[in-house]
Chains A and B, each alone.
Chain A
Amino acid sequence: MKYQSQAVAKPYFIAAIGLFLGQILFGLIMGLQYVVGDYLFPAIPFNVARMVHTNLLIVWLLFGFMGAAYYLIPEEAERELFSPKLALAMFWIFLVAGAATILGYLLVPYATLAEMTGNNILATMGREFLEQPLPTKVGIVIVALAMLFNLSMTVLKGRKTAINLVLLLGLWGLAIFFLFSFYNPANLVKDKFYWWWVVHLWVEGVWELIMGAMLAFVLIKVTGVDREVIEKWLYIIIAMALISGLIGTGHHYYWIGTPEYWQWWGSVFSAMEPIPFFMMTLFAFNMVNRRRREHPNQAAVLWALGTGVMAFLGAGVWGFLHTLAPVNFYTHGSQITAAHGHMAFYGAYALVVLTMISYTMPILRGREANSRKAQVVEMWAFWLMTIAMVFITLFLTAAGILQIWLQRIAAEPMGFMAAQDQVALFYWMREITGLVFFTGLVLYIVSFFIKGEEARAS
């Protein structure tokens, strides 16, 4: 590594991987509850497991983004981080706050947790993905602001590149749009309207900037392609992301009490949202094909290409599948949504963080790349997790189509629970595939402990 202070990324990445493991364990619990309804009831009701699963996802991705930023910004700015101590302090604060929150979900009834943590003063809890108690939400803001201060000072005093500016802009956007999580009007329509300013404007807005910057950084490093070329791509990709994605928010405003013109705005603009994701695929493959060097870390190249493909499949293809209003009328809030949510989050954000970890971790541990042996195991982990996610998505899509047919289209519509019984087979297959995913993740963790002779550039 070029700058000592980049080392602060390491604990962030380790925490991210640990929480990822926790996320998957709770996914498996829920997957089983889908078919064995009383599994672990009443110790861990489904809604508790779900909060743990999705909140761990968000928190480990945030750890990943932060770790990536603490690594990337000094290197791009060509100077040490403004304050490594502050970055490390924020790590511990975030880890303790995150762990306490998860334990709170698991050990305290949610209503009691709400009462204990000031939800009666400012009610923000009990909305999907934003279940965190008030102190945790405030903690997230503090940690984010401290990070932004730290990173902004580093960039201000150092070299400004397209990559570090775009990353910084994305992270500022992340923090700013999170502020909408504090706005929870009694009017349900307004509540839902602005809830999406966190959720949609994150994943189909500012997070794409973060993702693009991270991908561009790794591609420069592993391919040696000219920075000018890569940065031009980056700007075009994120331009398309915001041009389509901002008004694309409208694809969530079809059926929640908002005016019907959103069916037009939302359909037309969100139909363009796959474009930036497709460009990311082209970007990754193009740069690798034009590579000027053979980087010894071939695993990192695989993760980077995988990110391009899977983000396009999950966000682009599966997003487009249900984004037009006449289609969404039937698919809204069905297993189709879950199928898309899984592949998109995995393909875009989980994979880009894992790409960054794959590239940086060997360097943080004092070598350019891991041994061949370790890389082979890491690549197996990539394939197991990725193929498992493809099948999870396919099974949920099948379940969704049947569910919609039985419950929403058939001449004699079935009730929700009766329809769920009919598609149980697909939930079983999802769960078994989930075990494959889990195996891949365990293998991934194992790969960090495999020694052997360091791989060299060929």
Chain B
Amino acid sequence: MSSAFTKSAARNIFYGGAVFFFLLLVGLSFDTMQTLPKRDNRENLSESAIRGKHIWETRNCIGCHTLLGEGAYFAPELGNVYTRRGPEFIKAWIQSQPTGVPGRRQMPNFNLTDAQLNDLVEFFKYTAGIDTAKWPPNVEG
């Protein structure tokens, strides 16, 4: 790099750029929080759905599945599973695990009660209603 461009100029660009763009990120985040109520389906975030999220987290479902495309890539996307499968299928599926089919990827059985299963389904109903800008491309996730 040319010697007219000094180290202290480089340093100033660093500090100035960092502060400016961090503040821009904070500003955009603030605006995002204002916009969210229109998109994040909070009206369906019932007590039951909140309990469902807790079950989702404490069984580490994200360790195999994606949720809105984030997580692990070992098992199907579940953000839209409510749309794809419906409540009864979801409950029956979770209860019937593991399939025990030789060589097939296995999902553990978490011994969930009926109430817990209902909470999970409420959670999936909530996630399926989030406005994700039309992602995923189709119902298969």
Binding site for B on A (CB under 8 A): 30, 33-34, 36-38, 41-42, 45-48, 50-51, 110-111, 114-115, 119, 123, 125-128, 131, 162, 184, 186-190, 192-193, 228-229, 231-233, 235-236, 238-239, 242-243, 246-247, 249-250, 252-260, 262-263, 265, 329-330, 332-335, 337-338, 407-409, 413-417, 420
Contact = CB atoms under 8 A, between A and B. Distances in A.
B140 A38 contact: no
A45 B13 contact: no
B48 to A, nearest CB: 11
Contacts of B113: none
Contacts of B83: none
Contacts of B57: 114, 123, 125-127, 184
Given A42-B98, A46-B64, A47-B64, A232 B40 contact: no
Contacts of A115: 58
B25 A46 contact: no
A239 B5 CA distance: 14
Name the interface size band of chain B: 35 or more
A408 B105 CA distance: 21
Contacts, number: 227
Interface string B66-109: 11111111111100000000000000000000101111111110
Contact of A257 (B17, B41, B77, B139): B41
Contact of A409 (B56, B67, B137): B137
Nearest to B108: A45
14 contacts: A37-B105, A46-B64, A125-B58, A126-B61, A162-B11, A232-B10, A235-B11, A242-B18, A246-B21, A332-B136, A334-B73, A335-B73, A416-B140, A417-B105
Contact of B132 (A184, A246, A255): A255
Contacts of A193: 29, 32
B76 to A, nearest CB: 4
A189 B1 CA distance: 44
Contact of B13 (A48, A110, A239, A335): A239
Given A189-B36, A414-B140, A47 B60 contact: yes
Contacts of B14: 235-236, 238-239, 242
Given A127-B57, A246-B22, A333-B71, 11 more contacts: A41-B106, A41-B108, A45-B63, A45-B107, A51-B60, A111-B59, A126-B59, A128-B70, A193-B32, A243-B21, A329-B135
A46 B63 contact: yes
A201 B50 CA distance: 27
B127 interface: yes
A332 B69 contact: yes
A189 B40 contact: yes
B73 A247 contact: no
Nearest to A408: B137
Given A111-B58, A128-B71, A416 B76 contact: yes
B10 A254 contact: no
B45 A187 contact: yes
A396 to B, nearest CB: 9
Interface in B6-27: 6-7, 10-11, 13-14, 17-18, 21-22, 24-25
A94 B11 CA distance: 34
B44 to A, nearest CB: 11
B62 to A, nearest CB: 5
A93 B105 CA distance: 37
B7 A254 contact: no
Contacts of A41: 98, 106, 108
A111 B110 contact: yes
A256 B68 contact: yes
Given A189-B130, A193-B32, A257-B41, A416 B6 contact: no
Given A41-B106, A189-B40, A265-B28, A126 B1 contact: no
